[in-house]
Amino acid sequence: MALEGKGFDVHSPECIWVYMVAENLNSETSHEWELSCAGDELPTIENHKQFLEDRASALKENKERNTLQVNHSQAETDQSVRIAPGA
């Protein structure tokens, strides 16, 4: 393995945990994780935990923002489509 050649203990529980979790990320999150792992240091569980917390927070905020936009658009549509009384 390339990491073993650099002196990393790829059989450590921490390394295995990070690998197992990273393997189960969706493609976009996996790509973001890889970008965050620049350098010659092996990421730690703490690095991975912080990344996942930050990513979850960003996705939640994005979902809430999209929900607000949809609700706002729906309210505008409801106001513009009014049925005349007695129709």
pLDDT tens track for 36-48: 887 777 888 899 9
pTM above 0.85, yes or no: no
End-to-end CA distance of the chain: 75
Residues in contact with 4: Cβ distance below 8 Å, sequence separation at least 6, in sequence order: 10
Q: Is residue 82 scored above 90 in pLDDT?
A: no
Distances in whole angstroms, Cα of residue 71 to Cα of each of 26, 61, 66, 68, 74: 28, 15, 9, 5, 5
